[in-house]
Homo-oligomer: A and B are copies of this chain.
Amino acid sequence: MAEAEQHRSGCPINLSLEVLGDSWSLVVIRDIMFGNRRHYRQLLGESEEGIASNILSSRLKQLTDHGLVTKEQDPAHKQRQLYSLTEKAIQLVPVLVQLGAWGRKFLPVSPELSIRAKVLEDGGPQLWERFMAELRAVHLGVPAAQDESSVHHELEQAYREVVDAGGDSSG
């Protein structure tokens, strides 16, 4: 079996962890996905976790090699590279929602950084699908449905409300 030579096993959980099982890859995807941070400088400078430059570079390269992220010249700023999510990465939304839900339940989360996870969790699979459709419009250029309100906007609004209400700040 070909993959037996490259992979620890053919178990889908194991294979997913071979790709995603480090403590930074999904954080970088989270920042591109929810923060719409598309440039290296944003991913580095706006990182809540203070990711180091060499780690960010290596993870972006890995994510590109694994087909989760693409890099191209930004049409708006020719000097800059624009990072986009692939369909493979967009379909990580349910994984990230469940990770967020688990974190909210068992770990010392901060209010303002967990409100978006709560909105997505409460919204269920239907909201995740809408959010994934929006990500396809932004990252893959798939035409967006015009008649629906934006999930991204809804998440930002919920975040703003918690911040304005004085949720504690970490970062």
Interface residues of A (CB under 8 A from B): 1-4, 7-24, 26-27, 30, 48-50, 88, 91-92, 94-110, 113-114, 117, 168-171
Contacts and interface: CB of A to CB of B under 8 A. Distances in A.
Nearest to A30: B13
B110 A1 contact: yes
Contacts of A10: 108-110, 113-114, 168, 170
A94 to B, nearest CB: 5
Contact of A95 (B23, B95, B169): B95
A99 B108 contact: no
A11 B113 contact: yes
Contacts of A105: 91
A30 B2 CA distance: 24
Contact of A48 (B14, B26, B99, B169): B14
B107 A12 contact: yes
Contacts of A91: 102, 105-106
Given A1-B110, A9-B49, A11-B48, 14 more contacts: A3-B108, A4-B171, A8-B49, A8-B50, A9-B110, A12-B99, A12-B113, A13-B30, A13-B100, A16-B102, A16-B107, A20-B99, A22-B23, A95-B98
